[in-house]
Chain A
């Protein structure tokens, strides 16, 4: 339950209790009002009315009896007056006695009164007027007394009914009062409990949970991401605790990633050290490497060694990216250098590297490689292509045609390393003239993608190399990389590695030694 719902619910309950309290008070007043109406407006006036009616008839009886005995006209006038009084109270009684039983008793009382008056008016007074006083007294004494007794009896019954009303009212008042006391006590106890919940328990629990969150935040501040946040609440504080726990896990993951990045930096440093930063300087040739890595570590690598008058260059590209590719590159580079240090020729070097990769890597991994040996004295290049893209040859311009030309140096193909037991070791040869350049590069150039998903490809690569051919090897590489980056809108997923091997000629070798028979330029081939 949310905190907002708890607070709103608590105050809602408090409001409900207040409404209940008001209703109880109101019902108490209503009940008192009903009792007041029953007792003071109906029962007591009823009693008075009954008393007056009974008294009026009793007085009529006494006045008639007196008029028969003595002074007739005065008492007879009093009788008439009491008849009017009786009428007055009987009419008043019509409004006061509304229940069926009371009305029946009243009707009987009025009927008995009227019978008494008929007896007086039609028998007693005419007998008296005819001088038959004794006869009149006898009739009044017999029938009149019976009717007066009946009137008194009915009057008593009506009084009893009114007393019943009073007693009932008294009972109702007591019962209502008791019920009100119980309800009030319940409401007050409920309000008290609710007040304790709202002012003590809820804030106490809230503060307790917030305290736990503060402690967890302090622990995070200290770098401790393992402290458990034990807040069991379904409100916003519980939600905050859950999110804080997730943040804790996220920070822990970030910390691990930071450590991972540190490890990657170490791996990158090792890889940079494995690649040659100081290339051997030789007379007759120069080699300019260029590497633009998409990630800290990658699978592109190269190696250069000068021995026995030859410059041996290897450019490798391990499949995949990241640490896995970097490890494969390390395996290949180690195997290659190991075999070469044991005096192995290019074919032994390649075979050993293949075997090392077969032993060390899984079936999903492979490495492509170009291995080229430049005889510094002759400009003769022997190369082996192990599943790699063809290198690009830039021919320097001649005196007759100063425009440089270039083409992919196709030749016998062997298979990639690390997958086949026998990848093939076919070798090709070409002779470079001074100024000629052999450009070895990895697939990052060709596979760079534009935002439309189009790849840079070998056609654009060849055009760019020819266009930039007049530049020195360093600027050539930089410009080419800039071209590729522009094409990919700055988003390169793969490493770009390039070696530009430029032959400068030997003191013992003349320009006329070059042999270009059978070659086609890139432009003429397209």
Chain B
């Protein structure tokens, strides 16, 4: 299975980082997201909002990487929240049950408020 790179913009926000993948998140590209989350797990402030606005398609591999990220970041004392307005992704979170217990909001700021409360 040939791995492909996906562009992921990493930026600092108020006490957390924001990951903005640009492109499909599937079995071919998910390694990039996993690596980016791994770097945040190793950082001093392991909290991140993943903005899915520029991800037109996400399959179970992409969802798995996000959920794996939630678990690893929480174990490291941080959290992962998701900023998403795409119906298709939101439906996937709902169907699988992964939407429960994870902060999912239309904007990065709102999503971040969710995990800050979780941390508190």
- A residues adjacent to B (C-beta < 8 A): 295, 299, 317, 319-322, 362-366, 368, 387-389, 413-416, 419-420, 423-424, 443, 447, 449, 453, 455, 457, 493-494
Query: Quick one: CB contact mask for B84-120 with A, threshold 8 Å, 1 for yes?
Result: 0000100000111110100000000000000000000
Q: What's the count of A-B pairs with C-beta under 8 Å?
A: 74
Q: Can you give 20 A-B contacts (C-beta < 8 A)?
A: A319-B60, A319-B61, A319-B64, A320-B64, A363-B67, A364-B34, A364-B65, A365-B68, A366-B60, A387-B97, A413-B97, A415-B100, A419-B98, A420-B97, A423-B97, A447-B57, A449-B57, A453-B24, A493-B26, A493-B27
Which of A363, A365, A415 is in CB contact (< 8 Å) with B96? A415
A363-B59 in contact (CB<8A): no
Query: Is B95 a contact partner of A387 (Cβ separation < 8 A)?
Result: yes
A493: chain B residues at CB < 8 Å are: 26-27
Q: Are B95 and A424 neighbours in the complex by a CB distance under 8 Å?
A: no
B68 touches A322 (CB 8 A): no
Whether B97 lies near A424 (C-beta < 8 A) is yes
Cβ–Cβ contact B97 & A364, under 8 A: no
Provide the B50-78 mask, 1 if CB < 8 A to any CB of A, else 0.
00000011011101110110111000000
Q: When the two chains form their complex, are residues B60 and A320 in contact, meaning their CB atoms are under 8 A apart?
A: yes
| A364 to B34 CA separation, bound complex (whole angstroms) | 9
Question: Which residues of A have CB within 8 Å of B96?
Answer: 366, 368, 387, 415-416
Task: State the CA gap A189–B81 with chains docked (Å).
Answer: 83
The 7 closest A-B pairs by CB, nearest first: A415-B97, A364-B68, A319-B60, A363-B68, A387-B96, A363-B71, A364-B64
Cβ of B39 < 8 Å from any Cβ of A? no
Q: Which of B56, B57, B63, B72 touches A319 (beta carbons < 8 Å)?
A: B63
- B residues with CB within 8 A of A: 1, 24, 26-27, 34, 56-57, 59-61, 63-65, 67-68, 70-72, 88, 94-98, 100
Extra A-B contacts (14), CB below 8 Å, given A321-B61, A368-B96: A320-B60, A363-B72, A364-B67, A364-B68, A387-B95, A387-B98, A389-B95, A413-B94, A413-B95, A413-B97, A414-B97, A419-B67, A424-B97, A493-B27
Minimum distance in angstroms from A315 CB to a CB of chain B: 14
Known A322-B1, A363-B72, A364-B34; contact A443-B60, beta-carbon cutoff 8 A: yes
CB distance from B109 to the nearest CB of A (A): 27
Q: Are A366 and B67 in contact (CB under 8 A)?
A: yes
A455 to B58 CA separation, bound complex (whole angstroms):
11
| Residues in A whose Cβ lies below 8 Å from that of B65 | 364
> Which chain B residue has the least Cβ–Cβ distance from A299?
B60
C-alpha gap A457/B91 in the complex (Å)? 12
B59 touches A366 (CB 8 A): no
Task: State whether B97 touches A416 (Cβ < 8 A).
Answer: yes
CA distance A419 to B63 in the complex (A): 12
Q: Which residue of B lies closest to A449 (CB)?
A: B57
Rounded to whole Å, the gap between the CB of A100 and the closest CB of chain B is 89
Distance (whole angstroms) from the CB of B35 to the closest CB of chain A? 12
Find chain B residues with CB under 8 A from A447 CB. Answer: 57, 59
State in angstroms the CA–CA spacing of A325 and B23 once bound together: 23
Task: From B1, B24, B68, B100, give the contact of A362 (CB < 8 A).
Answer: B68
Measured in the bound complex, the distance between the Cα atoms of B68 and A419 in whole Å is: 9
Question: How many whole Å from B47's CB to the nearest CB in chain A?
Answer: 17
- When chains A and B are docked, how far (Å) is the Cα of A473 from the Cα of B68? 38
- Distance (whole angstroms) from the CB of A513 to the closest CB of chain B: 32
A364-B64, A364-B65, A366-B64 known; A453-B57 Cβ under 8 A: yes
Would you give the shortest CB distance from B106 to chain A, in whole angstroms?
Answer: 21
Query: Which residues does chain A contribute within 8 Å of B64, judged by CB atoms?
Result: 319-320, 364-366
Measured between beta carbons, the chain B residues less than 8 angstroms from A365 are: 64, 68
User: Are the C-beta atoms of B57 and A455 separated by less than 8 Å?
Assistant: yes
Least distance between B16 CB and chain A CB atoms (Å): 20
Complex partner residue of A321 from B27, B63, B94, CB under 8 angstroms:
B27
Closest to A321 in B: B27
The distance in angstroms between the C-alpha atoms of A424 and B95, with both chains bound, is: 13
Which residues in A have their C-beta under 8 angstroms from that of B100?
415
CA separation between A322 and B2, bound complex, in Å?
Answer: 11
Q: Please report the C-alpha to C-alpha distance between residue A415 and residue B72 in the assembled complex, in whole angstroms.
A: 20
